[in-house]
Amino acid sequence: MTFSVEIADAEKIATSSHHVEIHIDKSNLKDLIIQLTRLSEMPLGEHLHFMSGSWGLGDLSEISQGEGNLITHHLKIIISE
């Protein structure tokens, strides 16, 4: 399974010079598209959660795909205006 959310340049977080990378395989990408499509039909404020196994659901991988990247254990996507 490859679906990870990673912070690259983590040492630069304090200066907001870091960036986020999402690594995802085709199977998980298809699932994400389905979930995002459902979310697009929900009212404002609704959201999706994706978590690593050690934090809960096990949607996100805990294996970093980018050298030196820092894994994020929780991704929340919220419908807003």
pLDDT tens, 2-37?
A: 899 999 988 888 888 889 999 999 999 999 999 999
pLDDT mean over 59-81: 93
The domain total for the chain is: 1
pLDDT computed for residue 51 by the predictor: 95
Q: To which residue do tokens 């697009």 refer?
A: 40
pLDDT over threshold 70, residue 60: yes
- DSSP class of residue 13 equals G
pLDDT computed for residue 12 by the predictor: 85
Task: Print the domain residue range for 45.
Answer: 3-78
Q: Can you tell me the distance from the alpha carbon of 2 to that of 9, in angstroms, rounded to the nearest whole number?
A: 21
Phi first, then psi: what are they for 10, rounded to 5°? Answer: -55, -30
* Cβ proximity of 22 and 29 under 8 Å: no
Q: Can you tell me the distance from the alpha carbon of 3 to that of 76, in angstroms, rounded to the nearest whole number?
A: 14
pLDDT computed for residue 53 by the predictor: 95
pLDDT over threshold 80, residue 1: no
- Percent of the chain scored above 90 by pLDDT? 78
